[in-house]
Each structure stands twice: as C-alpha cells, then as structure tokens.
C-alpha cells in the first residue's frame, strides 16, 4: 500500500503549524513522516525537506526558537486578491503564469540572494533524500508547472527557494537560466501529484483555489486514492497564525497550536494512515 503526504503552502506560520501537527501526531503514535511519497508546495517544500532529510523533533524544536533568520513581509488579502485575479481570468494557463512572472519580476527585479539565505537557514544544504520527495514550482518563462525531484539535476536548496518565491512578495528564483515562482501559483497543495497512492493525507494551512478544478477536493478525486484526509488549522491554530502568513513573530505560537491540534486528531487519523 502506497501512502502519500501532501504538504501545502502557507508561509512562515504554515511551516511552523505543519511541523507542529506532524510532531503532535508522531508523539501520539501516528507517524506521517513515514510516507512513501512526500509532496511539498511553498511552505510545504520546507517541511517536506526537513522531514525527509532529518529528524522531525529537531525541525519542530527549531520553530520554537527566535526567528532571527527570517525576513518580515506582508502576505495579506490585497496581494492574494491581485494574484487571484491574474490566475482566475479566462485564457490559456501558460499565458497567465507568464503574466504572473512578469508582474513578479516588475515588483522585485532584485536577485533572490537574501531569500536564498533565508531558505538556507531553514533547511541547510541537504542532498536529495533517497525517498520520493517532490517539490513544486512554476516556470514563468515558458508558463509551465514544474516538479523537482532527485532526478531533476537541481539542488534541494534551489528547488525549495523556487517553490517559496511568492509572486509580488519575493523575487523570482533563477535556476539554470529559467525563472521560477511559488508552486502555489498552480495550487495551494498540488495534491493531484499523489495520483496512484492508496492513502493521501494533506496538511493544508490554506485551501484557497483559483478554480474549482484545482480545489483540494477535486485534486484528491483525481488521485484515485481509496483513503484521503485533509487537515487544516482549527480555530485555535488559525487565531495563533493570524492573517499574515509571513509574520515571523507568530512562528512559535503556530507551532505550538499545531502540536496541540496534531495530538487531538491522532485517534481519528490513526485508522486512515494504518
């Protein structure tokens, strides 16, 4: 039986919450990090890398420390609305992604060096794991969805940086002459990449979708999995995470409420993951 863990986007607070949920589940006897396939988008790419290249408890503990290596930024309703309008318009998908890329470069033409340093502080510079880790991004030169894995010839650090390059907030990331932005420009989770898995569990700090076809529910239908489950922040976690997913000051509280939530849902999730 093939089990897949899908880790969605959600900024600094999303990273912390996801690691908290995973650690709470692990302490309660449900180890989602044992998944055969791990899919990471944006914040989820950070979490996916940490849990496939090192111990979960250490990754969780890091979220409780001062967020000295982070850059503060604002990702609120206005920015999300601008992106949503660009992506939801009628027209060819590739053209819309290219337009997002042009807007992202216009907003942040500077090199992504500072952001690369932030990503390095989160994950280090690990090699690709032997396990099946897939990291999503969007190639805005060609207007193509991209999935990086250990066969792509791209470092994990660069792949995660590309996956976390939120358009209009951070500069796009160039890899080998190609420009990439956040994999969330396609979907907050990209859960349909788990096609073929028998069990799919999704951690989704947000389930916003630019179209019904790319909703988490529709994507899970396309996987063909017999058992699926979506975990999103409960009311207590949502309050701790706040309205700005890129606020480093909320990292610890997001992790701690994630830990609490993971502990609470372990009994419900255990038979699904078994």
- Residues 240-269: pLDDT tens digits? 999 999 999 999 999 999 999 999 999 999
Question: Which one from 42, 163, 187, 232 is the annotated catalytic residue?
Answer: 42
Under 8 Å between Cβ of 262 and 21: yes
SS3 at position 84: helix
Instruction: Summarize the confidence of residues 38-63 as an average pLDDT.
Output: 99
Least confident of 80-94, 125-139, 191-205: 80-94
Question: Which one from 62, 139, 158, 182 is the annotated catalytic residue?
Answer: 182
Tell me the C-alpha to C-alpha distance, in Å, between residue 272 and each of 3, 132, 182, 199, 200.
10, 21, 30, 7, 9
Is residue 42 annotated as part of the catalytic site, yes or no? yes
Is residue 182 annotated as part of the catalytic site, yes or no? yes
For position 211, what pLDDT does the model report?
A: 79
- pLDDT of 43 over the 90 cut: yes
- pLDDT of 210 over the 80 cut: no
Global pTM reads 0.96
| Dihedral sign from CA coordinates of 244, 135, 271, 266 | negative
Share of the chain above pLDDT 90, in %: 88
Residue predicted with more confidence, 161 or 91: 161
- pLDDT of 25 over the 80 cut: yes
Tell me the C-alpha to C-alpha distance, in Å, between residue 14 and each of 101, 124, 199, 244, 273.
24, 19, 23, 10, 22
Which DSSP symbol is given to 236? H
For position 214, what pLDDT does the model report?
A: 85
| Dihedral sign from CA coordinates of 56, 59, 62, 67 | negative
Instruction: Summarize the confidence of residues 66-86 as an average pLDDT.
Output: 82
- pLDDT of 78 over the 80 cut: no
> For residue 164, how far is the Cα from the chain centroid?
8
Tell me the C-alpha to C-alpha distance, in Å, between residue 113 and each of 11, 100, 154, 174, 183.
18, 21, 17, 10, 19
Instruction: Summarize the confidence of residues 105-130 as an average pLDDT.
Output: 95
Q: How confident is the model at residue 71 (pLDDT cuts 50, 70, 90)?
A: confident
Tell me the C-alpha to C-alpha distance, in Å, between residue 241 and each of 59, 196, 202, 205, 261.
18, 33, 18, 9, 13
């Amino acid at each position: 039986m093939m089990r897949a863990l899908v880790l969605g986007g959600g900024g600094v607070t999303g990273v912390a919450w996801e690691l908290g949920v995973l650690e709470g589940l692990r302490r309660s006897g449900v180890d989602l990090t044992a998944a055969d396939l791990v899919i990471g988008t944006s914040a989820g790419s950070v979490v996916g890398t940490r849990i496939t290249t090192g111990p979960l408890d250490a990754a969780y503990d890091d979220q409780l420390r001062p967020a000295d290596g982070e850059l503060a930024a604002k990702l609120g309703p206005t920015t999300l609305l601008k992106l949503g309008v660009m992506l939801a318009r009628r027209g060819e998908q590739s053209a819309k992604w290219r337009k997002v890329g042009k807007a992202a470069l216009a907003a942040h033409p500077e090199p992504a060096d500072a952001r690369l340093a932030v990503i390095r502080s989160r994950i280090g510079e690990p090699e690709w794991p032997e396990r099946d880790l897939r990291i999503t991004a969007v190639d805005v030169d060609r207007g193509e969805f991209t999935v990086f894995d250990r066969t792509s010839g791209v470092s994990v650090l660069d792949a995660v940086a590309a996956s976390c390059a939120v358009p209009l907030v951070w500069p796009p990331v160039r890899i080998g002459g190609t420009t990439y932005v956040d994999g969330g420009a396609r979907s907050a989770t990209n859960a349909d990449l788990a096609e073929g898995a028998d069990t799919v569990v999704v951690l989704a700090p947000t389930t916003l979708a630019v179209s019904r076809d790319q909703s988490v529910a529709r994507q899970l239908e396309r996987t063909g999995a017999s058992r699926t489950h979506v975990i999103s922040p409960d009311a207590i976690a949502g309050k701790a995470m706040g309205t700005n997913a890129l606020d480093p000051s909320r990292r610890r509280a997001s992790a701690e409420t994630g830990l609490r939530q993971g502990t609470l849902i372990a009994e419900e999730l255990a038979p699904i993951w078994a």
